[in-house]
Structure formats: C-alpha cells, structure tokens
Structure 1
C-alpha cells in the first residue's frame, strides 16, 4: 500500500546545510523532509517518490532526472536565475516551479551601486595602484541619467538607490511596472534600443529570456554615449562579451562593472581583465549576511503552503522564463 506522506526532497549545500532543515516545521503525520547531498546519484535515487524537489543544483538538473520523477508536483530554485531549469520537459509539465527572486534585491542592488561608485570615483585605479597620469577626474552621480534594464526585485532597488544620489532614472522592462518615486520614466525594450545614447549609466538587472538574451550587442553598443558606465549584476548572457570588449577598445565607456559574464568564469587572460576602466567581481553580488536567512524563510513559507494546497510564493512563468 502506497505511503500517503508527502515527500519533500531537499538537496543540501553550503547555502542550505542539513542542520538548517531543523527550522522547517512540518507535520510529520502528513509529510517528511528528506535531505540528500548535491550528488546526481543520490538525487536520482530519491526523486521517484518525491512530491517536491528543493535546491537542486542547476548543473545536475536535466531531462534524465525529470523522467524519473513519477509524482513530482513542485520544484524550488533558491536563486533568481532559472534559465538552466527551463528544459522542454519541465515547461510542458504540470509541475509548479518557484524561485528566489525579489529576496536578493538588497544585496545585489548594493553591489551594482558599489561597482558604479568604484568606477565613477576611480577607486578601481587607486586600490590597484594603477593611477594614470593626466587621467580624467572622478565624477559625481548627481544630475546624471540612468537606465535600469529590468524592474524586478533587483532593478527597483537599484533605481531607488540611484535616485538617492540625485540620478534621473528611466526604467526599462517588457511591461509596465508600479509607478514609484524612484523611476522618472518608463520605456520598453525596443524604445531603449533605439536611443541608448541619452543615458550616462546603464545597469542590467533583468533575467535571461528570449527577449533579453544577447540584447547588448554590437548594434546596441555602437549607439551608446561615449561616457557610459555599464554595470551588469544579473545574467552574463544578456551581453555579447566580444561586442562589449571591442566597444571598450574604442574607448566607448566611462567604465564597465561586471559581476556576471558569459563565459563564466572569465578566462584569466581575457582582454577585459587588462583594461583599466573595467572591474570584474566573481559572481558574488548575491552574497550577504542576510540572504540565506531570507531564502530559508521563503522556503519554510512555501513548504507550508505546498502542504496546505495554497498558492506558492514566487511562481515562475515557465514559458516567459521568469
């Protein structure tokens, strides 16, 4: 006779350690939480009877795993980016899919502003002892114009922080967003693409979708303002890296700050690493002293909702990609 307990398989990692699962309060008469290490074989062994799969590493998620999931109803990804999970088998299934968007907004937006300020105040040169004689003076943000590409949980907080510096902010998205004090103007992706020259700062905070993949290409960079500060803290494949590198060789940027690249990690001998107006951090914008606690709180809330057959928080539109 089939056991009626709901089985929630949680893949443990440095970010979600086994002892942290003690904080997940479930009624053991209706559900059981099964912790497995981030090993493909262990996950494959646990998945056939699983009703929910939590925190599966993206590099271990594939059609072979999904084919063994005979009764899977829900998958949760702790991160915000989900493109690696959106394989046809998941898109076409009835499995609910949730992620960790919005809760990463505080730290990732902080990181975007940190990259920007290091470049505008020329701290990247000071901290690496690469001061250039007769170089340009640092600039202030007050009175500058910025485009924030993607007005989700990260982008809206980037806009809010830029506004505090006296920046005029234009939000770029595929659909209208709430009218907040931090965004002075809203434009669509096509409108932004036609006239990027009017922006002195561009911050990428959008997910990877069919519309945003390699959005920043040679055609785009050929139109930008020659003093543009370009920051990317969302997904590396929004940017054609060859086009970005070529454009910077023509001194088309005030500065470039990247926390994500495609490929990642960026090769140690890549041309961008040698350019004095470029800062590259190793995909660390999502780390903070509070991000794990927020992620665990979201997970606990969603597990309770799942077991109570309630709507889950942060559902992903599997077709649109976010």
Structure 2
C-alpha cells in the first residue's frame, strides 16, 4: 500500500531525527538504545525495499497477463453508478473486511485480496506505522469466497478498490508502481480461477462515489451519506473516507499508533526543518510528496 509505505518512512524519519538530536542536560540516550533504534530503521528500510522490488516484479507479469492473455478491460468510474444500478453486473469490493464494513455499496459483495493478520501481535504492529486494521496477509479464502458470491463464472464481474490502478504500464521509476492496485490483482486471481468476464474500475471508489455511486450501507454508510449533503462537511467526509481515517479501535495499540501517525503528519506541516528532512528521505525511495 503506497500510503502505508509513505507513512512508515515518515515514522522512520522521526526515529532518525530523534537519534541525531543532542540530549539536553540531565538526560542521555544509552548507546544500546541508539544502536537498537538504528538497527530498527535499517531493518525497516531493507524490508520495505526488498518487498517493493519483489512486488514490482510480480506486478509487471500480472499486468501483462491481464491485458494480453485475459483481455481484462476498464470501467470508467463515472459510468459505474449506472452500471451497478442496471443490475447487469456484480460489483466486487476487494477492500479488507474491516474497511468494507464501515461503508459500501448495497448491492456489492466483499471478496478481499487481503485480510488483517490472524496473529494479533503481528497485526497490531501495523497500527504503529499507520496501517488501518493492522498488518494484512493474503486472503487464503479468496477462492472459496469467489465460489460463494460468484457461482456463475461467465457472468459479468467488476472489481473495485480505493486506488483503481491501470492496465497501462507506468514510465515512472519508483519503488511503488502507481498502476498496481488491489482491484487489478483481484481481477487477475478471478481470471486464474476461470472467470471469463472480469473488468475493473479505473479511478477506484473515490471517483465512483464522486460520480454518484451509492455507499449507504455499513456502520458509517448512512451517516456519511447524509453528511456529504451538507456542504461545510463535504471536505471532512472525503478525508475520513478516502484517507481511511474513520475510528477503528479493534485493538488497543491502534489508538497509540494512529496518534503517532497524526503527530508525525502534524509535525511535518508545522516544522519546516522536519518537512525538508522527510522530503529528502522519501525522495531517496522515489516517493514524491
């Protein structure tokens, strides 16, 4: 997830900044603590880099297969509301179950590409780098859920996620390919399972909702739908939905982790020196803010 990777790097930047700060009189940071913090940052950076390069390699082959082998096509986000209302397609929302439960289209089905890790400790670690719902793992029940919700493999299916992605390769040389997306990966998995009429939404849920897609179902769906009709609240509603910032206290560390993320973001915009430091660090990873 690009936003999660960016947030992780911001947290790493904070850690490195703290390491370089000179302790005030009467206080000191032990050599052991500084060395541990340094190793943590180096390990996170190495893990992020290797994961990104592996993901890029896999994604290029998936993208090629989607376009040339399976002939998957795009659905413009502005056309999705009418298409869903016609009842001629099944809309597959591939977001994690915890995000889907907050708000979704009434006629959609949820077949997630990834779910929160079953190991509570590993899942909770994700909160501290700003990943909503904690660290995720591949949905091992994807095939079973597809068989349940999509029994007819020849019926038209449209996959949608928050990002959208693209079938056209990107010329940008970054660690995170902007064309990669959960909806396209879900489309690929469905094609591999034998589904013959699969499409995906280019532009993702944000553009589809701005074009009139109903999202009134779920814990927050009805309230968010009403709030969007109040002009002064529109910006706040968009931020809460599209930035995945709705309250999610599923595990206690979530409060602490999200507080750290908000503090980092606040410091980024308030402190010019810290902002320059973070921008330079992100630039090393090919991420432009």
- Per the normalisation by structure 2, the TM-score is 0.29
Larger Rg: 1
- Per the normalisation by structure 1, the TM-score is 0.27
Which structure has the highest strand share of the two?
Answer: 1
Which structure has the highest helix share of the two?
Answer: 2
Higher relative contact order (CA 8 A, sep 6+): 2
